Amino acid sequence: MSINGAMLAGVSGLTANAAALSTISQNIANVNTVGYKRAATEFSTVVNAQTQGVGYSAGGVQATARHFISQAGQLQRTTSGTDLAIAGQGFFVVTEKSENLTLSDARLFTRAGAFKIDDLGYLKNTSGLYLQGWPVASDGTVNADPSDMSRLRTINVGSVGGAAEPTTRVGLNANLKSSVEPDAAALARYAAGETMAAYKADATPPVGVKPDFEISIPVSDSKGGQQNLTVAFIKGANPNEWHAEVYAPAGKVMNADGTPMTVNAPIKSGIVKFTQDGRLDTTFTGPTALFPDPTNATITLGASPTTPPTTPIPGAPTPDVLWAADLGVATQTIAIDLGASTGGLTQYDSTS
SS3 at position 261:
coil
Q: Using one digit for the tens of pLDDT, what is the confidence trace for 156-212?
A: 887 666 667 899 998 888 899 999 999 999 999 999 989 998 888 777 777 889 999
Q: Which residue has the higher pLDDT, 13 or 346?
A: 346
Looking at domain 169-346, its CATH architecture is Sandwich (2.60)
Of 6-15, 19-28, 156-165, 255-264, where does mean pLDDT reach its minimum? 156-165
Is the pLDDT confidence value at 341 over 80? Answer: no
DSSP 8-state code for residue 10: H
Give mean pLDDT, residues 65-89: 80
264's CB contacts (< 8 A; 6+ apart) are 195, 197, 198, 247, 249, 250
Q: What is the pLDDT of residue 168?
A: 92
DSSP 87-126: -SS--EEEES-SSS--TTS--EEE---BEEE-TTSBEEET
Residue 332, judged by CB atoms within 10 A of its CB (0-12, 13-18, 19+), counts as: buried
CA distance 44 to 318: 82
Q: Measured in whole angstroms, how far is the alpha carbon of residue 183 from the centre of its chain?
A: 37
Higher pLDDT, 3 or 277: 277
In the chain, count H helices and then E strands.
Answer: 2, 19
pTM of the entire predicted model: 0.55
84 HSE (CA, 13 A, CB side) = 20
What does each C-alpha distance from 329 to 40, 299, 306 come to in angstroms?
58, 16, 10
Which pLDDT band holds residue 2 (cuts at 50, 70, 90)?
A: low
Q: What is the pLDDT of residues 343-352, one digit of tens each?
A: 788 999 988 8
Give the domain ranges of the chain: 3-67, 74-161, 169-346
Looking at residue 260, its pLDDT comes to: 86
Task: Please tell me which residue, 303 or 313, carries the higher pLDDT value.
Answer: 303
What average pLDDT does the segment 4-21 reach? 80
**Cα(15)–Cα(342) distance, integer angstroms:** 61
Lowest mean pLDDT among 233-242, 327-336, 341-350: 341-350
* pLDDT for the residue numbered 332: 93
Report the pLDDT averaged over residues 310-323.
78
Residue 217 predicted with pLDDT over 80: yes
Q: What is the DSSP letter of 200?
A: B
Q: Is 51's pLDDT higher than 60?
A: no
Mean pLDDT of the chain: 85
> In the prediction, which pLDDT does 49 show?
62
Query: What pLDDT does residue 145 have?
Result: 80
C-beta separation of 14 from 22 below 8 A:
no
- Cα 45 to its chain centre, rounded Å, is 52
Banded model confidence at residue 55, pLDDT cuts 50, 70, 90: low
